[in-house]
Amino acid sequence: MATIGLDRLYYAPITEVPVTGEETYGPPVLLAKAISAELSVELAEATLYADDGAAEIIKEFKNGKLTLGVDDIGRAAAETLTGATTDDNGVLISASEDGGAPVAIGFRAKKANGKYRYFWLYRVKFGVPSTNLATKGDSITFSTPTIEGTVSRRNKPDGNGKHPWKAEVNEDDSGVLPATITGWYTAVYEPTFAAG
């Protein structure tokens, strides 16, 4: 079903275990008011040819690109996402040596039926936000920042031994527990699988 809205944009800091790199997620923090979110995915592909045709075709997630349009990136979020620092005078300083830590990104999109589709991207590393500014003319034009990040799989395997990169759920899908939706922004969603 088509979506008609976007809101509740959060990030969660990641702490990594030194040897394995497995992620532990901190509490989600409101990032900004969301204007747009564009996610593009790059796949690693391989085709094995045998008997004059394609015998095996493999397509796996390689990485993704997340472009967020937001109303404003506050100082605390900029420090976390881009590695910028605040000096003694309260001025945000971006340096060429900066590099933010990866974070998890969560948001939701309103569907045409009034229900929501919820997302968590498990590992996103952002670059420096871009800013477009324009002089005020005869009409008012809003200038808002855009920040772009690379989405990758997480290091920590799930209950099936795989390394997820995204969690996505429609609140009106059958079998979705109400607690899954109500708890979506209290912690980064952790996949659960029945032992079997």
Residue 48 confidence (pLDDT): 85
pLDDT confidence tier of residue 62, bands split at 50, 70 and 90 = confident
- In the predicted model, is pLDDT for residue 141 greater than 70? no
Identify any residues that bridge with 119 across adjacent strands, giving them in sequence order.
Answer: 107, 168
Residue 157 confidence (pLDDT): 92
pLDDT confidence tier of residue 124, bands split at 50, 70 and 90 = very high
Region 144-153 average pLDDT = 88
Which range among 42-56, 115-129, 182-196 shows the weakest confidence by mean pLDDT? 42-56
Residue 142 confidence (pLDDT): 67
Region 59-63 average pLDDT = 85
177 contacts 95 by C-beta, under 8 angstroms: no
Whole-angstrom CA distances from 161 to 53, 156, 192, 193 are 32, 9, 11, 11
Residue 34 confidence (pLDDT): 86
**Rounded CA separation 149/142 (Å):** 23
Number of Cβ within a 10 Å radius of residue 154? 22
Q: Where are the alpha helices (DSSP H) in 117-184?
A: 178-182
Q: Report strand pairing: 29-32 vs 23-25.
A: unpaired
**Rounded CA separation 66/149 (Å):** 5
Identify any residues that bridge with 43 across adjacent strands, giving them in sequence order.
Answer: 61
Please provide the average confidence, as pLDDT, over all residues in the chain.
87
- In the predicted model, is pLDDT for residue 99 greater than 80? no
Region 45-56 average pLDDT = 84
Region 9-13 average pLDDT = 94
- In the predicted model, is pLDDT for residue 81 greater than 60? yes
62 contacts 51 by C-beta, under 8 angstroms: no
pLDDT confidence tier of residue 128, bands split at 50, 70 and 90 = confident
